[in-house]
Amino acid sequence: MFKHWEKYMKNMIKTIKGLVVAAIISVLGFAGTVNAADSSKPIVIPTHNWNSQVVMAYVIGGIFESMGNNVEYVPADPQAVYEAIRIGDVTISHEVWQSTFGASFQAAIDKGGLLDYGKHKAATLEEMGVPKWVVDKGLCPGLPDWKALKKAECSKNFATADSGGKGRWLEGPQSWHGTMMQDRVDANGLGDLWTVKYAGGADALWAELVSAKKEGRGTVIFNWTPNFTDADGFQFIEFPPYYDGCRIVDGGDSRCGSPKGWLKKAANYAFPKTHPAAYTAFSKLSFTTKQIGQMAALVDIDKMGHEDAAKAWLAAHEDVWKPFTQ
């Protein structure tokens, strides 16, 4: 009798152990499922001071939200943002322009904590140039060759009230490039005819295009592609070719123009672990020159707000962005 009872108890203990192990495996399996899903912690997306970047921020945020993610938008300095991503205060960057931000981007990568998430399909150029109507009116014969700027009969057509009788180059905000364009003016012997002024933001550049055309004067402004101005045939000035090390900050003389370059994406190193689904979509995400120009045009031409522009673009281009999420 006792032996039967002992055998019964041993079997019961085995059964209980089996149930406990099964329960642990079940819990671990459930935990693994939870860990595989995106965190409820917001994905922090930076906004800068040009419209294509801000609209694309809301476009990408909308894509993440369609996948069930929480999103937060924060204004950020376009040079310092890579350090913010590296230390985890910001999650991603979706418009890393090679010419302007490549050095800051690489410095953050070298420190660790920032990952390169690949390129958009769009190629970029960030350069001084003129609207097509300046060339059509012959206000500076010889453009887009930069040597046309060496003639006084050209520069006089670009003078403004604040340029001291010289032709004016309207650069972007100084936080974008520092003294890069002033260095180029000086290095190419243009300082007697041209002066560099700085716009407060992208909107000031586009306002200058409108004012100059209305006043019938020439204007040299900083611009980039992809942008909404692509559709209007904006002419970039052709300076001496860029090569690595040609700028003063890199040990050169700064006579060179800007490189044709890439447009990349970046993210914090933990992004694949905290938001694996969003990470996969962001890795796939790649926009063309035309698509980025469309985003900017909704604000710069159609005068929509950034969020409304993003919603409109998403609604009209599901065939473009839906595959990123699959």
Kindly report the CATH number assigned to the domain that includes residue 241.
3.40.190.100
- Owning domain of residue 27: 1-36
Average pLDDT, the chain: 89
Domain with residue 96: its CATH number is: 3.40.190.10
Same domain membership, residue 228 and residue 189: yes
The larger pLDDT score, comparing residue 286 to residue 17, is at: 286
- Residue 264, classed as helix, strand or coil, is strand
Q: Out of 4-8, 196-200, 280-284, 302-306, which region has the weakest mean confidence (pLDDT)?
A: 4-8
Residue 15 has pLDDT above 80, yes or no: no
How confident is the model at residue 200, as a pLDDT? Answer: 93
Structure token pair of residue 244: 């690595």
Task: List Cα–Cα distances, 222 to 163, 213, 258, in angstroms.
Answer: 16, 16, 11
**pTM beyond 0.85, yes or no:** no
Rounded Cα gap, residues 181 and 152, in angstroms:
19
Same domain membership, residue 111 and residue 152: no
Same domain membership, residue 23 and residue 79: no
Answer whether 121's CB lies under 8 Å from 265's CB.
Answer: no
Cβ-in-10-Å burial (0-12, 13-18, 19+) of 241 comes to exposed
Same domain membership, residue 129 and residue 119: no
| pLDDT tens figures, 110-137 | 999 999 999 999 999 999 999 999 999 9
Could you say which of 241, 260, 279 is where a domain stops? 260
Same domain membership, residue 152 and residue 107: no
Total domains in the chain come to 3
Could you say which of 260, 277, 297 is where a domain stops? 260
- CA 89 to chain CA centroid, nearest Å: 17
Same domain membership, residue 150 and residue 207: yes
Same domain membership, residue 256 and residue 159: yes
Same domain membership, residue 58 and residue 116: yes
Same domain membership, residue 244 and residue 96: no
Residue 14 has pLDDT above 80, yes or no: no
Same domain membership, residue 254 and residue 173: yes
Cβ-in-10-Å burial (0-12, 13-18, 19+) of 73 comes to middle
Same domain membership, residue 217 and residue 318: no
Could you say which of 260, 287, 313 is where a domain stops? 260
Same domain membership, residue 166 and residue 99: no
pLDDT band at 36 (very low <50, low <70, confident <90, very high): low
